[in-house]
Chain A
């Protein structure tokens, strides 16, 4: 039996833009604080200090990182979360004297920025920021930092979608508020390399359900697929229930691509397809940045820009996809998770 919209909303933890940053994603409840999560010290090897909350996703990134760095670097991972996060970072920095720091999620970056501002030090080891939302240039709040952005690029999203759909995917529609205009423009520029055109449908800063539904109806007339941004203002319970769900579930149907796995569910047709960062591979990618930094004497150069995530995992709502769209014969060979 299909879930009601309200039941779907209750069942789906909508975390949108903060999906990787929230302590809701922790694997188990425990008191916040400071804890060493990994300690693999190799004599004579430079130390990489990882500051992170303890979630399933951050653990996956750590696993990829650890596999790659083993034997080449010492690796110490500390949990920094809660009120004394900055103090925890300061203690770890003083004890470990790292050659390089990895910072996972928005609150950790904020705590590290406070550490830099209050430490009285003139120089800091290079830091690599991962799992923070909408990071697309070197973080201005930090000295000596670069990173890997967390949003899966549109070009990757559509390349994946094209492997599944029988019908052509040429124009992708996106509903966006003005703060995300620059982000969408950069994504559109990159996507042009794969002959993807982006149709933007602006909405107000605080749209109501009627505005969203109207925008969706307009957009569906002009595009082959809908790309739903991880913008928490657009993914409130109210807008999902009264805007997105009725808008997406009326004809003409268009495949909806989301960036949150929980928005794909056969119980309620919302996202047709989710494309998410592969967290273990993100750890490998982070390790590659560390190897590059080591080659440069752990100094960040002008060209050390923020990278885009290379590896993704895909999830499909097969019930919705089969009901509404024609899939390629080998489509399911190209999907990591099939929900039906």
Chain B
């Protein structure tokens, strides 16, 4: 059945209005900004792409350095994803907590090359820089219950060179990432899980679109959440 000529123009106009509205809503949704400061076992470029594909309604920026995170906060965001200690140190409150196996915490491991490092006896430890010089030192010392020298790095893959070059006695990382480390190396890596737990990634709302952003993040596909070490959000 053909459409009468006289109704075609209004239909086209309606379509144009609808399309414009759609574009506007997409633009509005796209303007919601999510800043992510997490260290994962893939390159920041790939991590950001994966998150962006999983969250098409958000403009995702993933950073690996504290300085970039702080500049990103100044740029204005709707939501921020990081470890709760990082959020807390910037006066932010977690509104959406990552969970794994029903728990909001995870274990960290101290990994050495050749021998299992003793947290009480290590003189130098490598760690991901979460909180700057003083904050990361305090974070590491609290986990270990000792005060070794802390070598901070800005990427997950930079932990292994610390062991390869014998700069440290052990490296500290989430226990779930130890297999990734072992896959990348032929060093005889040996680790010990620490008794203190660390909160899994969480999300804080920091802008007008925060609630909407959180709702989208809560529906993130399982495969992507797994990269974050999370299997559910609460």
Contact = CB atoms under 8 A, between A and B. Distances in A.
Interface of A: 63-64, 67-68, 72, 153, 155-156, 159, 162-163, 190, 193-195, 278, 280-281, 284, 287-288, 291-292, 307-308, 310-311, 314, 330, 332-337
B155 A281 contact: yes
B42 A159 contact: no
Contacts of B161: 153, 155-156, 159, 308, 310-311
B46 A194 contact: no
Contacts of A194: 164, 185-187
Contact of A159 (B43, B133, B164): B164
Interface in B38-71: 42-46, 65-67
Nearest to A337: B45
Instruction: Decide if the interface of chain A is mainly helix, strand, loop or mixed.
Output: helix
Nearest to B161: A310
Given A159-B184, A333-B46, A307 B152 contact: no
Interface in B145-194: 149, 151-155, 157-158, 160-162, 164-165, 167, 184-187
20 contacts: A64-B67, A68-B133, A153-B161, A156-B161, A159-B184, A159-B185, A162-B184, A280-B65, A280-B154, A281-B153, A281-B154, A284-B152, A307-B167, A308-B161, A310-B161, A310-B165, A311-B153, A333-B43, A333-B46, A336-B43
Given A334-B42, A336-B45, 4 more contacts: A67-B67, A159-B185, A194-B186, A278-B155
Nearest to A311: B158
Contacts of B65: 64, 67, 280, 284
A155 B157 CA distance: 13
Nearest to B46: A333
Interface size range of chain B in the complex: 20 to 34
Contact of B66 (A67, A193, A195, A291): A67
Contacts of A335: 43
Contacts of B78: none
A156, A190, A330 — most chain B CB neighbours (10 Å): A156
Contacts of A334: 42-43, 46, 157
Contact of B165 (A190, A336, A337): A190
Contact of A193 (B152, B158, B164, B167): B164
Contact of A190 (B44, B46, B129, B164): B164
Interface string B100-135: 000000000000010000000000000001001100
Contacts, number: 82
Most buried by A among B132, B160, B164: B164
A281 B161 CA distance: 13
Contacts of A153: 161, 164-165
Contact of B164 (A67, A156, A281): A156
B43 to A, nearest CB: 6
Contacts of B67: 63-64, 67-68
Contacts of B44: 336
A310 B185 contact: no
A274 B65 CA distance: 23
B46 A332 contact: yes
Contacts of A332: 46
B147 to A, nearest CB: 12
B219 to A, nearest CB: 23
Nearest to B42: A333
A277 B167 CA distance: 18
Nearest to A155: B164
A162 B183 CA distance: 10
Contacts of A308: 161, 165
B190 to A, nearest CB: 15
B152 A288 contact: yes
A310 B162 contact: yes
B100 to A, nearest CB: 21
B126 to A, nearest CB: 9
B172 to A, nearest CB: 15
A295 to B, nearest CB: 8
B45 A195 contact: no
B46 A163 contact: no
> Which has the most chain B C-beta neighbours within 10 Å: A162, A284, A332, A336?
A284
A288 B152 CA distance: 8
Contacts of A278: 155
A310 B157 CA distance: 9
Given A159-B160, A280-B65, A281-B158, A310 B46 contact: no
B45 A284 contact: no
User: Considering the complex of A and B, which 5 residue pairs feature the smallest CB-CB distances, nearest first?
Assistant: A67-B67, A333-B46, A333-B42, A311-B158, A195-B186
A63 B133 CA distance: 16
A233 B42 CA distance: 36
B158 A310 contact: yes
Contacts of A284: 65, 129, 152-154
A292 B168 CA distance: 14
A257 to B, nearest CB: 16
Contacts of A337: 45
A193 to B, nearest CB: 6
